[in-house]
């Protein structure tokens, strides 16, 4: 099924040094307009407002995921493991390369605002009438369907799904390394070569040789660190909140038939909840930022205020609270309204939580989220049974409540707020 290129193509990459493309199909997929769009979408959404280096794109991440998968597979093929079927190599590589194809601009905030799922869009772009579909069809008529089923995790062979999205998948390994590199933080520097050498196809899934346990501990620790230091950074959350509010406000205005000074295709259709694949592919971050810049001039004060905050990085401040009940939230909102603030825009409550690793509970069957170690006697054990470190970071990490608000507006309203409420924000 593979069609080797006459000459290998390489991309220089700061994380993996080189990315090797050896197959014609992969090379053609990279050169489609749908894949090239990923150059115009940042990997970390609004994180560049916190870590100025975080300008890397979904394009570079997707190539990285492809490269890690290629290295794992070529190791499987070289070793001739009976649990790996070489005829599935091209399928796995295509799924790895294309797994983020459907990401929209500022991925997660926009997905929430438009109630859409990037995975659904990825599958639509693979299955509907696009350059990607045409190339995949050259492999076999049902090949686009197979690639989509790997991405939606319904493909019949779990091991293929495992490589692209599992507890130790190529996706996470690439984004931990890449996000650490571009944000400049010191966490997330895992020994990827060692991890890759320790992976084995076994009994229909990917497992780790027991002697690789410490490298896996490092990987889970860095995942934990990256979540709390980078992905959940309160300043990033603040910019995401403003972004979500912009989208919420614009949507309200479209529904009210407000006459925008500036509107750009396909945004108004998107706000009405109805876009085609062709329209969806017009979306990128440059388009969104152009709209936001133009909307700073709109007569709707809420929209223009939010857009200037986002464009000029005048983000919301926050206070942290250990406990917060719904009564207190209601009281804050009432007091805000009484003091002339906008209860629905001037206060946002955020409670980040993360599940770094879901432990195995005795009696359960091993599930696809667990990392299994393979010992010398070919016996499988779930990693938290063996590792104290993994046990200590397993389970839900409870976060704290973060209350976000526009400092300038709150300052003006402070004298009108009851002292008990003003105290919360005067910290």
Query: Which of 226, 246 has the CB closer to Zn ion?
Result: 226
Minimum CB separation of residue 62 from Zn ion in Å reads 7
Local structure of 18: helix, strand or coil: strand
Query: Which of 179, 382 has the CB closer to Zn ion?
Result: 179
Pairing mode, strands 199-202 and 17-23: unpaired
Interface with Zn ion, residue 179, by CB under 5 A = no
Query: Which of 34, 171 has the CB closer to Zn ion?
Result: 171
- Distance of alpha carbon 205 from alpha carbon 161, whole angstroms: 9
Give the DSSP H/E element, type plus range, for residue 317.
Answer: strand 317-321
CB of 15 closer than 8 Å to CB of 181: yes
Query: Which of 226, 341 has the CB closer to Zn ion?
Result: 226
Query: Which of 188, 406 has the CB closer to Zn ion?
Result: 188
Which own/partner contact pairs does 130-136 have at CB distance under 8 Å and 24+ positions apart?
A: 130/32, 130/34, 130/277, 130/281, 131/32, 131/33, 131/34, 132/29, 132/32, 132/34, 132/35, 132/98, 132/101, 135/25, 135/28, 135/29, 135/32, 136/25, 136/29, 136/94
Minimum CB separation of residue 282 from Zn ion in Å reads 22
Interface with Zn ion, residue 100, by CB under 5 A = yes
Minimum CB separation of residue 159 from Zn ion in Å reads 19
Interface with Zn ion, residue 23, by CB under 5 A = no
In angstroms, what CA-CA distances link 346 with 236, 301, 341, 343, 386?
17, 13, 6, 6, 48
Minimum CB separation of residue 99 from Zn ion in Å reads 6
Interface with Zn ion, residue 305, by CB under 5 A = no
Minimum CB separation of residue 44 from Zn ion in Å reads 11
- Binders of Zn ion among residues 240 to 299 (CB under 5 A) are none
Query: Which of 122, 335 has the CB closer to Zn ion?
Result: 122
Interface with Zn ion, residue 171, by CB under 5 A = yes
Minimum CB separation of residue 352 from Zn ion in Å reads 20
- Among the residue ranges 45-53, 171-179, 240-248, 341-349, the one whose residues contact Zn ion (CB under 5 A): 171-179
# of chain residues touching Zn ion (CB under 5 A): 2
Interface with Zn ion, residue 119, by CB under 5 A = no
Local structure of 5: helix, strand or coil: strand
Given 3-state DSSP classes, what are the helix, strand and coil percentages for the chain, each rounded to the nearest 5?
55, 10, 35
Interface with Zn ion, residue 67, by CB under 5 A = no
Cβ-based neighbours of 288, under 8 Å, separated by 6 or more = 105, 106, 110
Minimum CB separation of residue 14 from Zn ion in Å reads 17
Pairing mode, strands 199-202 and 205-209: antiparallel
Query: Which of 100, 348 has the CB closer to Zn ion?
Result: 100
| Interacting residues toward Zn ion by CB under 5 A | 100, 171
């Amino acid at each position: 099924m593979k069609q080797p290129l006459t000459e290998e193509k390489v991309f220089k990459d700061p994380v993996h040094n080189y990315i090797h493309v050896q197959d014609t199909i992969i090379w053609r997929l990279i050169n489609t307009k749908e894949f090239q769009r990923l150059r115009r979408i940042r990997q970390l959404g609004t994180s560049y407002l916190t870590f100025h280096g975080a300008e890397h794109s979904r394009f570079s991440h997707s190539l990285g995921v492809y490269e890690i998968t290629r290295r794992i597979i070529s190791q499987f093929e070289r070793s001739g493991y009976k649990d790996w079927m070489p005829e599935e190599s091209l399928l796995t590589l295509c799924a790895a390369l294309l797994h983020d194809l459907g990401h929209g601009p500022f991925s997660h905030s926009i997905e929430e605002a438009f109630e859409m799922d990037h995975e659904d869009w990825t599958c639509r772009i693979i299955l509907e009438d696009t350059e990607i579909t045409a190339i995949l069809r050259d492999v076999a008529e049902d090949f686009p369907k197979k690639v989509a089923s790997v991405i939606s995790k319904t493909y019949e062979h779990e091991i293929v799904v495992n490589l692209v999205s599992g507890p130790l998948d190529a996706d996470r390994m690439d984004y931990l390394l890449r996000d650490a590199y571009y944000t400049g933080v010191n966490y997330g520097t895992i020994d990827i070569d060692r991890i890759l050498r320790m992976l084995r196809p076994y009994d229909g899934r990917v497992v780790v040789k027991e002697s690789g346990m410490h490298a896996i501990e490092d990987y889970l620790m860095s995942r934990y660190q990256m979540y709390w230091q980078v992905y959940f950074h309160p300043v990033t959350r603040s910019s995401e909140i403003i972004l979500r509010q912009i989208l919420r406000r614009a949507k309200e205005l479209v529904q009210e038939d407000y006459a925008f000074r500036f509107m750009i295709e396909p945004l108004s259709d998107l706000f009405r909840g109805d876009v085609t694949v062709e329209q969806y592919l017009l979306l990128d971050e440059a388009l969104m930022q152009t709209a936001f810049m133009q909307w700073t001039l709109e007569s709707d004060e809420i929209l223009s205020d939010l857009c200037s905050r986002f464009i000029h990085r005048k983000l919301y401040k926050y206070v942290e609270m250990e406990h917060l009940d719904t009564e207190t939230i209601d009281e804050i909102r009432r007091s805000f309204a009484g003091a002339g603030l906008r209860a629905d825009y001037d206060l946002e409550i955020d409670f980040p939580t993360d599940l770094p690793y879901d432990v195995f509970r005795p009696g359960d069957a091993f599930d696809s989220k667990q990392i299994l170690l393979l010992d010398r006697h070919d016996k499988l054990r779930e990693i938290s049974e063996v590792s104290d470190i993994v046990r200590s970071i397993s389970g839900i990490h409870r976060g704290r409540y973060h209350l976000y608000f526009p400092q300038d507006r709150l300052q003006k309203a402070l004298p009108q707020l009851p002292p008990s409420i003003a105290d919360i924000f005067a910290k």
